[in-house]
Amino acid sequence: MSKKRLNTDPDAGGHFGPYGGMFVPETLMAPLLDLNKAYRAARKDRSFQNELRAYLRDFVGRPTPLYFAERMSREVGGMRVYLKREDLCHTGAHKINNSLGQALLARRMGKQRIIAETGAGQHGVATATVAAMFGMSCVIYMGKVDMERQALNVFRMRSLGAEVVPVTAGQQTLKEAISEAMRDWVTNVRNTHYILGSALGAHPYPRMVRDFQSIIGQETKRQIKRIVGRLPDYLVACVGGGSNSIGLFHPFLNDTRVQMIGVEAGGLGRGMGRHAARFDGGRLGILQGTKTYVLQDRNGQIQLTHSVSAGLDYAAIGPEHCLLRDLKRAEYGRVCDTEAVAAFDALGEWEGILPALETAHAIAYVVREKKRWRKSDIMVINLSGRGDKDVQQVAAWKAQQTNKSGKKGGAS
């Protein structure tokens, strides 16, 4: 008797079990329903899928390599560690897989204006890139704090012809940027498509983004079978909203021997406003259109978050991740700022690869937990982006730590 296959597709209302849904103002219901209808048709349209595959191949540079990290493997106890090189995608991260898919969908719907939010800047760069390629106007909303710590990506977006709008409300990071993008969409819905960058928000975004990012796991499955003759024992990826991780995980859902690990931002430690680990301090709530785990106080007020990584600095997590956790199909850990920066340096020294600070959280988790792994294990880590954008941020962080140490030493 065959085992029942795990199906995590949302229902007609966009619910992943008790999570997800469409919790938005009345003015956004019609555009979301139109988007869902258009996406469902595009999924079944062979010409749309063929065009998407062609652009992924010829413009993005897919398939990305699956690289054996030999020195890192030795450093974590001798198991075989492979890196899925999404950092080698055009624009430097996995984000373009989704931006490209949604831009094609926007063109199909007759929308000529693109808006997006961005935290670390990689989604903004990817969206600005595809908008330029298709001749669409583009506006990117970005928190003022994130603009300062990701100045290189702000310059890249503007060089690609996008207007980058600083958001000065609240914490001035990703959550506020999403809110501003949603306000724009409500006002300009007739000619505008909102390319949401992660597997969160109202239906159909969590499923749509997951589907566009699932190319990561599909390629990984084919590549690892060809290289080692079997599936991996572990998949590891960082989790902000959750697009790179769900893209890697989803094609493996029914391969039950493959263990999946998502890594959240532990920031400065436990306590309100000190981290962005939704599964370790959050509770069920609704934020920006979806029901999910949210960092909030007892009165439902959204907490401040913190991470050295702008891309993980968000108060909610994608709803499908909540379901995977409930089903015990995936587990989730956390890594602090100090560990992430150390992993940023370590991978550079071991493999000649500077990872994005987001990815560095996944690297750090594997290093910290090295006693857990057996020498016979095979692991794939999703290297979701490259670290060029984070070099100045890491340098500033190290200088700050040195100043703190100096002050402590002087005081003693």
**CATH code of the domain containing 146:** 3.40.50.1100
Nearest to 127 by CA among 139, 145, 142, 143: 139
31, 141: one domain: yes
Say which of 73, 245, 307, 384 is annotated catalytic. Answer: 384
SS3 string of 39-108? HHHHHHCHHHHHHHHHHHHHHHCCCCCEEECHHHHHHCCCCEEEEEEHHHCCCCECHHHHHHHHHHHHHH
Averaged pLDDT, 155-161: 97
pTM across the whole model:
0.95
pLDDT tens digits, 385-399? 999 999 999 999 999
What's the angle, vertex CA 359, arms to CA 263 and CA 310, rounded to 5?
90
83, 107: one domain: no
Choose one of 146, 177, 209: the last residue of a domain.
209
Say which of 75, 99, 111, 117 is annotated catalytic. Answer: 117
Tokens coding 145 = 């704090």
pLDDT tens digits, 78-131? 999 999 999 999 999 999 999 999 999 999 999 999 999 998 899 999 999 999
Strands (E), 172-281: 192-194, 234-238, 259-267
Position 393 in a domain: yes
- Known catalytic residue: 245? no
SS3 string of 187-199? HCCCCEEECCCCC
Identify the pLDDT of residue 405: 77
Report how far residue 237's alpha carbon sits from residue 361's, in angstroms, rounded to the nearest whole number. 8
Q: Between 120 and 31, where is the model more confident?
A: 31
Choose one of 175, 209, 243: the last residue of a domain.
209
Say which of 84, 95, 111, 175 is annotated catalytic. Answer: 95
What is the tally of structural domains in the chain?
2
- Residue ranges making up the domain that contains 68: 61-92+214-405
Nearest to 225 by CA among 363, 342, 66: 66
Give the gyration radius of the chain's Cα atoms: 20
pLDDT tens digits, 276-300? 999 999 999 999 999 999 999 989 9
Identify the pLDDT of residue 408: 63
Nearest to 282 by CA among 271, 293, 270, 266: 293
Tokens coding 184 = 């724009």
- Known catalytic residue: 404? no
- Known catalytic residue: 95? yes
Position 329 in a domain: yes
Position 11 in a domain: no
